[in-house]
Structure 1
Amino acid sequence: MKISLITPARQHARTGNRTTAMRWAHILRGMGARVTVSTAYAGENADLMIALHAWRSADSIGAFRARYPDRKLVVALTGTDIYRFQQSDPETTLGSMAMADALVGLHDLVADAIPARFRSKVRIIYQSVPPLSRRLPPLRGVFEVLVIGHLRAEKDPMRTALAARALPESSRIRIVHLGMAHDADWAEAARAEMTVNRRYVWRGEVPGWAVRRALARAKLMVLSSVMEGGANVVSEALVAGVPVIASRIAGSVGLLGGDYPGYFPVGDTAALTGLLRRAESDPGFLDDLRARCGARVPLFDPARERASWQTLLAQLTGKA
């Protein structure tokens, strides 16, 4: 089977979309498919298209459907598709959903957020993470909290740094932020924060091995996003044994569960400060977060993700 896999993320980008595309390509090739990964469809012959991003890949989706009206088309819905573009540009975004034979979502609440007429097309495929070889000892004298993600508006990237400003002098919390700045303004904001906030360190973009090493020793991770389609960094943290504090958005609730106690309202700095203080000072609370996160780890098993793709392709090709 020839598969055209479309992602709007450029070849060497360290974005979630590019990471997801390359992992899926590896899985599909392991199933015997011939997979071409590109940023746009150029009319090549393919038995199946998998397109990440209903809005950004809309031209490719439309071109493939026009060229091959009877061949199968899978559209993976991102956070901005679900929580921005289907409202701001419904004609394009919902048009891509309409052309798709299947819609891949990355968390449990995706179907609830799209029009009812498309919900039967949704298949949830959790993003998998290989297990860590080992945990590393935490830094002595420091309660290290990671923020992993690019500095852009959707991530509300400075929220954890702002929350750390209000911690008591006795707190040992240090915020370590890994991620590229979307533009010069965000870079300047991070550098300025480091000059006034001794608890905040921005390391910029780092390779994947450095992210995994940081997770191997961290006490906690914060995901403060305004919107997410199902952040792979949540999977990475949980598999690494790192509990998560997250803004209460569907993309995180759909991964961590509705009754998870580590949520704060989007943009609520004081509430996040309170959770950070509790995680550091209350071992029972941190243990509870860790146990609940550990219970979700089987969702992110690479074998499960591979089986999900095998099932979906079998259904699409009539071989289920």
Structure 2
Amino acid sequence: MQAPSLVIVTPALAAANNGNWQTAKRWARFLSGDYRVRLAPCWPDAGQHDDAIMIALHARRSAASVAAWKARHPARPVVLVLTGTDLYRDIASDASAQASLALADRLVVLNELGLDGLPAALRPKGRVLLQSVPMRRARVKTRHHLRALMVGHLRDEKSPQTYFDAVRQLSGRSDIVFDHIGAALDPALGEAAVALQQACPHYRWLGGLPHQATRARIAAAHLLVHPSRIEGGAHVVIEAITSGTPVLASRIAGNLGLLGQDYAGLFDHDDARDLAALLAQCRDDAAMLPRLMAQCAQRAPLFHPDHERQTLLALLAGCSAHLGDPI
């Protein structure tokens, strides 16, 4: 018997090299033994496909696809994966995002606190699914300096300005160096990064890099800095945790839902002074980095690929059993 066809609708395909694309590509691999999986930027798309299930990433950007699917196949399930901008911004005010939530049969959130962001009436449709990354052996790192790394495209949601300001506040510390990976999606922020690099030689903007090169730099850093103001469950934070690289992160729900609410490496969003103090502490206090590493090591098993794959398969099986029509 032929495996059922499943379409993953992701507005961001390979060229975007972002978290949504990484999620879609990974899930396609996980599901390929049980489904005929294809990736598409929208639905319906070119060709004749009798898909049994849709997984849609992004409530607002995939809204037209979700609506078209339910109009044609009202009994076939839609699993809607909520991004950070969905969960913590758009579903409160955007009509198309709200329509997607109402139409979807399952709502997937990517951090442990994500269900709290859903309207109370829709939480029974919600499921938590933590993303995964293969574990890497932690690298031995130099003691001559502390290397901080931010990985995030230069756009407002990622709050690169907080990182920039912390760099300036630590400009007198030659023993703390800063790298930054990410494309300038906001040209003004790109100009700010260039100016900072010229003013502060211990800061390097590396631009956008391929995924494997980025992960290698995460593994080589002493710290990943993640100052975002909106996150659904940042893949880069999981990559750091599973590489033995601790994280300094903004105190927002999407980060707390990955790192744990008692994590010691949190700073108030948009508070560069708080971030700079944590960076200095990680360099000056011999106990701080080991403490963060131990906390991350406790969380790491939550992000194992087998755990994510089994959770995803169980979610789809349950959804199909209750809602899918025969194909």
In the superposition, the TM-score normalised over structure 2's length comes to: 0.93
Q: 2:40 aligns with which of 18, 22, 38?
A: 38
Instruction: Rate the CA distance shift 1:40–1:170 in 2: closer, same or farther, 3 A.
Output: closer
Which is further off, 307-316 or 157-166? Answer: 157-166
- Give the structure 1 partner of residue 215 of structure 2: 212
Q: Does 1:26 align with 2:21?
A: no
Q: Does 1:67 align with 2:69?
A: no
Secondary structure of the structure 2 residue equivalent to 1:45: coil
Q: Deviations over 1:9-60 (max 9, x none)?
A: 1332201111111111111113x20111011101642100000001110000
Q: For the Cα contact (< 8 Å) 1:225–1:247, is it kept in 2?
A: yes
The letter of the residue matching 2:309 is R
Secondary structure of the structure 1 residue equivalent to 2:160: coil
For residues 65 and 3 of structure 1, the distance between their equivalents in structure 2, rounded to whole angstroms, comes to: 15
Structure 2: tracts of 5 or more residues without a match: 323-327
The letter of the residue matching 2:271 is D
What root-mean-square deviation, in Å, do the aligned CA atoms of Structure 1 and Structure 2 show?
A: 1.5
Instruction: Note the C-alpha offset of 1:168.
Output: 6.8
Q: Does 1:233 align with 2:221?
A: no
Q: 1:200 aligns with which of 184, 199, 203?
A: 203
Q: Deviations over 1:254-279 (max 9, x none)?
A: 10111112111110111111111111
Instruction: Note the C-alpha offset of 1:153.
Output: 0.3
Q: Deviations over 1:179-237 (max 9, x none)?
A: 11103222211111101122211000111121121122211111000100100001100
Secondary structure of the structure 2 residue equivalent to 1:283: coil
Q: Does 1:313 align with 2:294?
A: no
Q: 1:94 aligns with which of 95, 98, 102?
A: 98
The letter of the residue matching 1:55 is R
Instruction: Note the C-alpha offset of 1:251.
Output: 0.3
- Give the structure 1 partner of residue 59 of structure 2: 54
Q: For the Cα contact (< 8 Å) 2:139–2:244, is it kept in 1?
A: no
Q: Does 1:273 align with 2:276?
A: yes
In the superposition, the TM-score normalised over structure 1's length comes to: 0.95
For residues 160 and 138 of structure 1, the distance between their equivalents in structure 2, rounded to whole angstroms, comes to: 22
Instruction: Note the C-alpha offset of 1:309.
Output: 1.0
The letter of the residue matching 1:17 is N
- Give the structure 1 partner of residue 306 of structure 2: 303
- Give the structure 2 partner of residue 120 of structure 1: 124
The letter of the residue matching 1:113 is G
Aligned sequence identity (%): 43
The letter of the residue matching 1:125 is L
Instruction: Rate the CA distance shift 1:168–1:64 in 2: closer, same or farther, 3 A.
Output: closer
Which is further off, 169-178 or 306-315? Answer: 169-178
Q: 1:263 aligns with which of 256, 263, 266?
A: 266
Q: Deviations over 1:121-141 (max 9, x none)?
A: 111111100122x44432462
Size of the aligned set, in residue pairs, is 316
Q: 1:242 aligns with which of 241, 245, 248?
A: 245
Q: For the Cα contact (< 8 Å) 1:139–1:217, is it kept in 2?
A: no
Which one has more relative contact order, counting CA pairs under 8 Å at least 6 apart? 2
- Give the structure 2 partner of residue 165 of structure 1: 168
- Give the structure 2 partner of residue 80 of structure 1: 85
Instruction: Rate the CA distance shift 1:140–1:289 in 2: closer, same or farther, 3 A.
Output: closer
Q: For the Cα contact (< 8 Å) 2:138–2:245, is it kept in 1?
A: no
For residues 202 and 173 of structure 2, the distance between their equivalents in structure 1, rounded to whole angstroms, comes to: 12
Instruction: Note the C-alpha offset of 1:61.
Output: 0.3
Structure 1: tracts of 5 or more residues without a match: none
Instruction: Note the C-alpha offset of 1:160.
Output: 1.8
The letter of the residue matching 2:51 is A
The letter of the residue matching 1:87 is A
Secondary structure of the structure 2 residue equivalent to 1:318: helix
